[in-house]
Structure 1
Amino acid sequence: MNTGTGDIRWPIAGAITISSPFGPRSAPCATCSSIHQGVDLTPGAGTPIGAIAAGTVRVSTTHPEYGQYVIIDHQIDGRLVSTLYAHMIFGSSPLRPGDTVAVGQLVGLVGNTGASTGAHLHLQVMPGGTTPVNPIPWLTANAGRTL
């Protein structure tokens, strides 16, 4: 679903528009965080989301804050890197825990579920599986690479 080449790719095809960057922010809603641990990308409701790399699905469920969301564990340069994709349209992800995914494989569709003020993909990149880093510089440095 996601275009590009290499074993690491951007999750959305085409131009990337960021509505909320990584880090401290004014909380956009009563249940939204003021410490944003990912980036919000706004390609439009229903846009396909691709896995940034091959991996194994750790979580595929719903949550009051993340709405419909998926976490995928990847092995990149011999290390665990996990990615979280949130606020997808309910029922749009075909993935289940334990599924193996290929780079670019459909994770789900951009939606407005959970604590959200509009349709967007909340993306987190977590080297080591738990601690988020800013996904934009991480993807800028790694997208297009062959592993």
Structure 2
Amino acid sequence: MDKKSTYSKWENHRIVQLSFINNLIIGLSIALIGYVFNFIEPSNIIFNCNQKFFFWVGILLNIISVAIGIFVAINRLEDFRLTAKIARNREKNIRENIQADRNETKIIGKKTWNRFVWQIVTFGISFLCFSIVILIEYWEKLT
């Protein structure tokens, strides 16, 4: 196997994994919101001030995580569209604007990875906030 085909193979794996993890985080975020609302549904749960704070921070960050995940998916679609345009122009031996398009795909790629990291960070912090809410509620029963 030559270097180019090896790189292409691993680049394809990276693209597939990014899509999978992006979709996984979106799904987990939505499931976490559903779980938390199911958790607070019983009328006998009354949050204290700390729980309310962590609940609202968690909700806000979770919604932001889903929104960022959607932006990542849209950004990736734009990147794929532009990459396909570059490949089509290269096959047709059209060289004008290829470098500008390549530079734009690099910018889009950096935005994608940056937003992807923020998606994971916001989800992680929201999960931590919701965990604190639940642990405060069940602390007496757990200790």
Larger C-alpha radius of gyration, 1 or 2? 2
Give the TM-score normalised by structure 1.
0.22
Give the TM-score normalised by structure 2.
0.23
Q: Which has the higher contact order (CA 8 A, sep 6+)?
A: 2
Q: Which has the higher helix share?
A: 2
